Amino acid sequence: MENCLFCKIISGDIPSAKVYEDEYCYAFRDINPQAPTHILVVPKTHVASIAEADQLSPGALAAILSAIGKIARQEGLDNGFRVVSNCGPDACQSVQHLHFHILGGRQMAEKMA
């Protein structure tokens, strides 16, 4: 999609620190990390948020979920990690392309919000 930051990252028009890629998804380091490990996993097909995830194929949905575990193992997040997907203004979603934050490398707060 034109003018979507993450579509431009997936296409390589905007540089990123890639950590994983397969047929369906792309993962890269967050530019403003909120934990020692902070990675974004995005579908290659543009959908705005998790609220529209039903527009993705079952294969793409499965690939994203399995990618999260693969990336966590690759990054050595053996003590655990948190996965977050902000959706819409109430959740402060700032990029309108579905993404999952993988946060790890430190103890997370017990309270999530």
Q: Which residues here bind ligand AMP, judged by CB under 6 A?
A: 5, 14, 16, 28, 30-32, 40, 86, 92-95
Catalytic residue among 38, 46, 97, 99: 99
CA atoms of 103 and 16, how far apart (whole Å): 17
In the complex, least distance from residue 85 CB atom to ligand AMP, rounded to whole angstroms:
7
Nearer to ligand AMP, 59 or 84 (CB): 84
Nearer to ligand AMP, 34 or 59 (CB): 34
In the complex, least distance from residue 61 CB atom to ligand AMP, rounded to whole angstroms:
19
In the complex, least distance from residue 89 CB atom to ligand AMP, rounded to whole angstroms:
11
Question: CA 55 from chain center: how many Å?
Answer: 17
Please report, as a single letter, which amino acid is at residue 47: V
Provide long-range contacts, Cβ within 8 A and 24+ apart, for 68-72. 68/41, 68/100, 68/102, 70/20, 71/19, 71/20, 71/27, 71/39, 71/41, 71/102, 72/102, 72/104
Active-site residue, 97 included: no
- The strand pairing partners of 29, in sequence order, are 39
Nearer to ligand AMP, 10 or 40 (CB): 40
What is the set of active-site residues? 99
